[in-house]
């Protein structure tokens, strides 16, 4: 936090006018958006849509609300380019945020309170309402400057990303309405960084989430029955933990690797049993795996099935989510989107580290249909507090992000 207090950045005050309260209007809009409790599982999407309609109206831009899944709107704000037949640029963000534990926060999670250092506290401050507003404010600045670009720019505000995105971007990309957008490239969320370095994501690991049922002999806990559920679940846990330790060792042995370069395995839930002195008829494990890009998915599946067979009769795996391998967005000279983006980042003299996203975002749905997508949130010198208590973003870092987007978005839109 001390780094943020000392941070300096160049802010264009003309493009971000100051209100009577001494606050940049971009920050005021950001805080207003943060105060909408779009928290899952009952996100206030109606409040978000109302807010975004007001923003589109202030920009003089058309807005469409698509109800592909009832109660889960996809909002598209469009700024038509000079050559609308060209492939468009998509600026994507999600409206939903994860739940909070208010008693563990020092500020109201939906109050968007700003402290004396300019830190703005709220759920979604980093993940990712900041980016959505930075897009809007960047477009506002272009319009004020009288600029027009070759390509059409679409701003998408989608639901349900925090629970997998199936009812948001996942279904929207299959619609005719999405195809009409004619997207050639997309920007989406990245991660904050506590250092000077900006992470930039061009790939994501494959997510597998599964439930493993381990049945066994029930009975009295004073006996030593064979074929118990506990013995089977112990076997399965040990197998997963062995893989987990191998990947942990790999990460620790190579300082050039990031968490996105290895496979992560975690037991997240376990259920079974009704009473202390009764052997349960089954235990159920929930396992979350994020498979690295170099992991052979068929081999990994065969390994899990083999463990279940070896554990004993009736042990079975059921997949809750079983993603497929999605090729990364290439970072080479053949990808004009990348060379243009990298050129602007180099011009800005930003230290950027391309890497694989450790989690999953809506970018995977875009990459899966062949659209280059870059995950980038301009938040360096910021502790990563996504999904954590007291999530915050400093207003100087936020405003500096608009400056960064001002450079890279126009370059991509004029490509």
Closest residue by Cα to residue 300 from 229, 206, 211, 164: 206
Q: Following DSSP, what letter does each residue of 331-382 receive, concatenated?
A: -STT-HHHHHHHHHHHHTT--EEEEEESS--THHHHHTTT--EEE-----S-
Any known ligand binding at 189?
Answer: yes
Q: Is 177 a catalytic residue?
A: no
CA–CA dist 360, 375 (Å, integer): 11
Please state the domain extents for the chain: 2-190+361-413, 206-322
Any known ligand binding at 188?
Answer: no
What pLDDT, on the 0 to 100 scale, is given for residue 404? 99
Any known ligand binding at 162?
Answer: yes
CA–CA dist 315, 283 (Å, integer): 10
Closest residue by Cα to residue 317 from 188, 244, 208: 208
Domain 206-322 top-level CATH class: alpha beta
- Write down the catalytic residue from 32, 46, 85, 96: 96
Interior CA angle at 192 toward 408 and 398, to 5°?
Answer: 60
Order of strands, edge to edge, in the sheet holding 264-271?
Answer: 264-271, 282-291, 206-215, 316-322
Number of residues in the chain: 415
Q: 23: number of CA atoms within 13 Å, CB side?
A: 19
Q: Do domains 2-190+361-413 and 206-322 have the same CATH topology?
A: no
Look up the pTM and report it.
0.90
Which residues have C-beta within 8 Å of that of residue 325, sequence separation ≥ 6?
A: 206, 293, 297
Average pLDDT by consecutive 10-residue portion of the chain (415 residues)? 34 44 93 99 98 99 98 99 99 98 98 98 99 99 98 99 96 99 99 97 97 98 97 99 98 96 98 97 98 98 99 98 96 98 98 96 98 98 97 99 99 99
Any known ligand binding at 94?
Answer: yes
CA–CA dist 281, 90 (Å, integer): 51
Any known ligand binding at 325?
Answer: no
Interior CA angle at 339 toward 334 and 341, to 5°?
Answer: 140
Which residues have C-beta within 8 Å of that of residue 179, sequence separation ≥ 6?
A: none
Which residues have C-beta within 8 Å of that of residue 44, sequence separation ≥ 6?
A: 36, 37, 38
Q: Is 23 a catalytic residue?
A: no
Q: For domain 2-190+361-413, which architecture applies?
A: 3-Layer(aba) Sandwich (3.40)
Closest residue by Cα to residue 216 from 203, 224, 200, 227: 227
Structure tokens at 248: 């942990």
What pLDDT, on the 0 to 100 scale, is given for residue 15? 43
CA–CA dist 262, 256 (Å, integer): 12
What pLDDT, on the 0 to 100 scale, is given for residue 344? 98
What pLDDT, on the 0 to 100 scale, is given for residue 21? 66
CA–CA dist 158, 151 (Å, integer): 22
Burial-class residue 374 by CB neighbours within 10 Å (0-12, 13-18, 19+).
buried
- Write down the catalytic residue from 137, 160, 161, 167: 161
What pLDDT, on the 0 to 100 scale, is given for residue 22? 83
Name the helix (H) or strand (E) containing 214. strand 206-215
């Amino acid at each position: 936090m001390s780094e943020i207090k000392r941070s300096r950045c160049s802010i264009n005050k003309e493009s971000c006018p100051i209100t009577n309260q001494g606050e940049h209007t971009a920050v005021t809009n950001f805080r207003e958006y943060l105060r909408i409790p779009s928290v899952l599982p009952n996100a206030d999407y109606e409040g978000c849509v109302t807010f975004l309609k007001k923003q589109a109206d202030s920009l003089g831009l058309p807005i469409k609300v698509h109800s592909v899944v009832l109660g889960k709107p996809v909002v598209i704000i469009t700024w038509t380019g000079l050559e609308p037949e060209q492939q468009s640029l998509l600026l994507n963000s999600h409206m939903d945020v994860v739940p909070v534990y208010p008693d563990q926060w020092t500020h109201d999670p939906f109050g968007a309170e700003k402290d004396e250092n300019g830190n703005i506290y709220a759920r979604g401050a980093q993940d990712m309402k900041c980016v959505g507003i930075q897009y809007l404010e960047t477009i506002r600045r272009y319009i004020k400057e009288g600029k027009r670009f070759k390509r059409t720019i679409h701003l998408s505000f989608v639901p349900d990303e925090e629970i997998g995105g199936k009812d948001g971007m996942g279904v929207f990309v299959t619609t005719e309405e999405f195809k009409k957008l004619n997207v050639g490239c997309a920007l989406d969320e990245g991660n904050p960084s506590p250092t000077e370095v900006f992470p930039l994501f061009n790939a994501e690991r494959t997510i597998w989430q599964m439930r493993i049922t381990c049945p066994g002999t029930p009975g009295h806990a004073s006996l030593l029955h064979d074929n118990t559920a506990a013995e089977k679940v112990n076997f399965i846990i040990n197998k997963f933990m062995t893989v987990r330790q191998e990947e942990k060792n790999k990460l620790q042995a190579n300082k050039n690797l990031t968490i996105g370069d290895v496979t992560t395995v975690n037991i997240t839930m376990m259920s079974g049993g009704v009473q202390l002195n009764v052997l349960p008829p089954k235990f159920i494990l929930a396992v979350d795996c994020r498979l690295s890009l170099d992991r052979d998915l068929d081999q990994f599946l065969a390994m899990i099935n083999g463990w279940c067979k070896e554990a004993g009769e009736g042990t079975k795996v059921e997949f809750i989510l079983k993603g497929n391998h999605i090729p990364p967005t290439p970072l080479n000279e053949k990808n004009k989107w990348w060379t243009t983006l990298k050129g602007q980042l180099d011009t800005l003299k930003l230290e950027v580290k391309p890497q694989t996203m450790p989690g999953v975002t809506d970018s995977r749905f875009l990459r899966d249909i062949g659209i280059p997508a870059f995950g980038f949130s301009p938040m360096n010198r910021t502790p990563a507090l996504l999904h954590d208590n007291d999530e915050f973003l400093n207003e100087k870092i936020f405003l500096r992000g608009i400056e960064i987007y001002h450079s890279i978005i126009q370059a991509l839109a004029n490509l």
